[in-house]
Structure 1
Amino acid sequence: MAERAQTSILLTGAGVTNDDELLSVVRAAGFNVRVEPWHSEVPALVESQAFDAIIVQLPLPGVGLGVLLSSIRAREARCRQAGLVILTPENDIGAVEKLVGRGVNRVLPNTATPEEVLEALKAVHSVAHRVSVRLPVQLEMTLPAGESQAFCQTENLSESGMLLRGFQHYPLGTQFSFRLQLPGTDRCLKGVAEVARTTDVGRENVEGFGARFVEVEESEWSEFERVLSKPRDPVN
């Protein structure tokens, strides 16, 4: 895949300053960090500028987390696929954790150490870079009701998995065989994948599910990497 620029992180929210100890720890780990104390234009910022990951410290003065989350995950937002770490007061953790897998990637108490936040940041950033590409996929899976076959279209792809557009809904953890048609050739990438999440239609404007690769036939992997490295609009 094409080499990416230095990882860009946005740190925003209540009480965030350039003197924050967290800022020093994250920068020391090699990340390029922009500090943006909370103001009314932050939602517009995350729609117009690309960041690889975002750290948000709650509460957000004068606005709910849902407003910012909708801006980050808006279909045309430059940060749509950025990893999102939320730092929240301990008594709100339960409510915020309900958003994990629905736009939020990690939730920590705002008493977490800078080192704990850094580990969460590394975890959400480790998700492979995704590119927007529409390709047909054939799925075959075994469900309690019997064998099932479906045809979907990719919304985006990465070395670790794919986001599939379709109206089918499957339980998290469901494994299935797939055949992904590679463009410009009669070759297919074949393997086994696992349902990792369902999309939030209201925020993502896509009905479908995300799947991670479990096993992939090596014979077509180099061709798949060529598809990913071809110049396209990045998702994140």
Structure 2
Amino acid sequence: MTDKSALPDPADFAHVSEWVFDLDNTLYPRHTDLFSQIDKKMTAYVRDLLGLDHDAAREVQKRYYRDHGTTLQGLMLHHGIDPSDFLEKVHDIDYSWVKPDPALGAAIKALPGRKFIFTNGDTPHAERTARALGILDHFDDIFDILAADLKPKPAPETYDRFLARHGVHKDRAAMFEDLPRNLVAPHALGMRTVLIVPTNLDRVFDEVWEHEGRDGAHIDHITDDLAAFLLAAVA
């Protein structure tokens, strides 16, 4: 049986010319104090909107995230909120926690072909994050939740929209993600799939369902070191 967590054989990526990366907890490690800030902002948003205490608001937030792909989608469907207001408030965070990652930048720059960020967040957040990492200039474009017409991953139609918008050839594409469920559709499309995991799952995951499917057939590779993985993939 193939060890999915082993460094890749370059032959497995010889056909890839379209490199697609999720943003949060993928291009930077989960232990970076960034998405945790967004998570707290989302809880506060739900609390203020619905007049709930912290624990009840967090339960609603996480339920919407689980059931609808994003907390935003759940709030739009059930409460008709203004998505622009939500995105602005939850991304009002301190980006100084994100440090430059020269190794990752060099690895992404060396990839042959086009590179994209495909995120359930918005473009300003993706730009600020990628700029802080020192990797923004290596990407051809960003496909965000607004480009997705506010329909988040893992909805299959969102991947179709991404492919069509950028003319991405699915049989020459690889998708990098930290959530197993967000790799189901790319795998079905014929994209090579890579799951990014933290070095200590038990410590950083507070939602058990988030890593359900990690051992699924739709995951081609697993890594906890994106830069090293990319360098090996094109060696």
TM norm structure 2: 0.31
Higher strand share: 1
Higher helix share: 2
TM norm structure 1: 0.31
Which of 1 and 2 has higher RCO (CA within 8 Å, sep 6+)?
Answer: 2
